[in-house]
Amino acid sequence: MRNLSHPFLDRFGISVPIVMPASQDLELILTGKDEKYSGFDELIQVPKVLTIDELMEIWYYVNKISINKEVNNYIHAIIRDFTLCARVDKGNSENLKPSTGLCSGCHFNTNQNVCNKIESILSVRVAKDLLRYSKALTWLLNLEKIDINLVNTIAPYVISHRVKYTRRELEKSPYWGKPYDFSRSILELIQKRFINRAECYLIAERFRDGESKSDDLTTLKNYQMNDLIVKYDLIPFVNSVNDKKYPKIAQKIKEASKNGNIEVLANIRNDLIENIDFPNRAYLINFCNQELYKQTVSDYIFKYINNKEIWADIASEFPKLDKPLKEAFMRRQTKQIRTEDLLIEINVTGTNDDSLVNIQISGGSEALQLRKIIERLDYIQREE
């Protein structure tokens, strides 16, 4: 696998280390029947664990698991600590690397930093996979929420095959060239630095919410001398929103969210979509969408045999949804249908009459209208 190029390896979401079997395992292998002579024994093959319908249902519930700000920031921190460098853009530097002297004399070239131990960077795919597999592990362990320790548990298997470490560090005791063990060590460093940076994230959040204190920027600047994420991510972000217009809109969104004012949130979002020059506009639009989601999200479940009825009931009130609803119910799939004021996610686990179909609704006033239509139907159940 190591002979594959890094862009190709990056397409593999997760990897598992495989070692030679121990003596007792070899004994079981050698005393078993040899399929070269006797063929496969159907009774001892890997059994079928799930139907595809059940797997689709599990994926739907895994995807519904939410993440808090701490986990969100921590996944960002992993990606950025593997990527940032005070001297060059590692993603576009072919020859300048830690192994070729890049770190010589650098202020950040210490045992407690990560940047001097890594030759390559992590992609956005890694961030998405870290979240995806953390959600899956949370569901599998029947936990209430994701935390950073759980992310650290899954991270070595998501990262180790995708990154190139400096040989000098990787081959030291006690790692002896084992990338999974070395990845765990790196992640422990990242977690410590993340915890030490906690005050900085709170400051950035206050700026994001339009509620910064007079000494917040000074405090951040004190951290930047020893923290690349503060220097290259948090301070530039704070500078981008540290003006007169931004705090007013941020506070208006927060107030509307607190009061459950869906119409105000939808209007602010629509105005921001039009105003492409507004500072940190993407975050504010996402903030509005998240709050609208929290205020209106509703989950329902029904059997596939009723799909034509619900399609007709919704399309009669929302004609523009007629074609996308029909396409969504045609086959086993998960599909999102969006309008300016509405998001519908439909998960068709199968096309047998008894197959389950999940439907989630969120958005603005149209979501509330659609929710009233659905809740009048006796063949659909609401999920809490």
**Domain final residue, candidates 181, 196, 211:** 196
Q: Do 172 and 69 fall within a single domain?
A: yes
Structural domain for 364, as ranges = 297-383
- Is residue 314 included in any domain, yes or no? yes
- Is residue 1 included in any domain, yes or no? no
Q: Do 148 and 257 fall within a single domain?
A: no
pLDDT for 2 equals 59
User: For 63-122, what is each residue's pLDDT tens digit?
Assistant: 999 999 999 999 999 999 999 999 999 888 888 999 999 999 999 999 999 999 999 999
Q: Do 189 and 205 fall within a single domain?
A: no
Q: Do 65 and 172 fall within a single domain?
A: yes
Q: Do 250 and 281 fall within a single domain?
A: yes
Q: Do 99 and 166 fall within a single domain?
A: yes
pLDDT for 36 equals 75
- Is residue 47 included in any domain, yes or no? no
pLDDT for 1 equals 56
pLDDT for 350 equals 94
Q: Do 97 and 167 fall within a single domain?
A: yes
- Is residue 254 included in any domain, yes or no? yes
Given a cut of 70, the residues of the chain with pLDDT beneath it are: 1-2, 39-46
- Is residue 164 included in any domain, yes or no? yes
Q: Do 87 and 214 fall within a single domain?
A: no
Q: Do 354 and 251 fall within a single domain?
A: no
CATH number of the domain to which 128 belongs? 1.10.8.80
pLDDT for 42 equals 62
- Is residue 39 included in any domain, yes or no? no
- Is residue 266 included in any domain, yes or no? yes
pLDDT for 302 equals 96
- Is residue 15 included in any domain, yes or no? no
Burial of 14 (0-12, 13-18, 19+ CB in 10 A): middle
Q: Do 89 and 133 fall within a single domain?
A: yes
Q: Do 282 and 182 fall within a single domain?
A: no
pLDDT for 79 equals 97
Q: Do 192 and 126 fall within a single domain?
A: yes
User: What phi, psi does 114 have (nearest 5°)?
Assistant: -100, -35
How many domains in the chain? 4
